[in-house]
Amino acid sequence: MDRRQLLDAFRNLDRRQFLDKMCQDLAGLDEPLPIGHGQPLSQPTLVLEMTALLDPEPGSRVLEIGTGSGYQTALLAPFSQMVCTVERIPELARQAEERLVRLGYANVRFRTGNGGTGWPEEAPFDRIIVTAAAGTVPPPLVGQLASPGRMVIPVGPRGWQNLLLITKDAAGKLAERVIEKVAFVELVGAYGWHQAKDNS
């Protein structure tokens, strides 16, 4: 993706539109902020960094796990052919869909449910981004990643996790790179923290 265009899109994306009235005054801070139901919206620079790492292309079919407010979705959509996004909390999923439709995003598909199992009907995906922390990389997501493909996912125990960039080459061979330590909420379900090795 073109980094200059990404930076422009990032600067033009108003985080206030993704926050409750109560938090809108804080939108300009580079800090995580609450979006309800005990869930946070990450600091903007991390959302930007994860988008750049994912590096979608105009033809990319993207799977996002953890829709939350839809802010990350809104940064991905203009650089992708289609974003399929999954959120487990129905009220957040509903609000994000309503918001993104109102803002005019036409290439996003929404699903409420456990994203750990991906979205088999829409697979394979050229890009997969997970914005909640897994204990282990969910095998269904690896299976639904195209060859070649890229996945960005935080993996590790409660507290701090490793942000991983997983790449699959054209022959289907996987490689993994640790980018940095991050702190996300848990990816609830089968691939959550009860499976995490303590790697802190």
Interface positions with ligand SAH (CB under 6 A): 35, 39-41, 65-66, 68-69, 71-72, 86-89, 92, 114-116, 131-132, 185, 187-189
Structure tokens at 199: 């790697």
DSSP state of 186: B
Distance of closest approach, residue 2 Cβ to ligand SAH, in angstroms: 22
Instruction: Give buried/exposed letters for 69-100 (b at 16+ CB in 10 A, else e).
Output: bbbbbbbbbbbbebbbbbbbbeebbebbbebb
Indicate if 69 belongs to the active site. Answer: no
Distance of closest approach, residue 199 Cβ to ligand SAH, in angstroms: 20
Contacts of 122 (CB under 8 A, 6+ apart): 61, 63, 84, 109
CB 41 within 8 A of CB 27: no
Of 42, 60, 69, 80, which one is the catalytic site residue? 42
Distance of closest approach, residue 169 Cβ to ligand SAH, in angstroms: 27
Closer to ligand SAH by CB, 12 or 175: give it.
Answer: 12
Closer to ligand SAH by CB, 35 or 128: give it.
Answer: 35
Closer to ligand SAH by CB, 101 or 148: give it.
Answer: 101
Distance of closest approach, residue 159 Cβ to ligand SAH, in angstroms: 16
- Distance CA(174)–CA(195), nearest Å, equals 21
Beta bridge partners of 180: 163
Which are the catalytic amino acids? 42
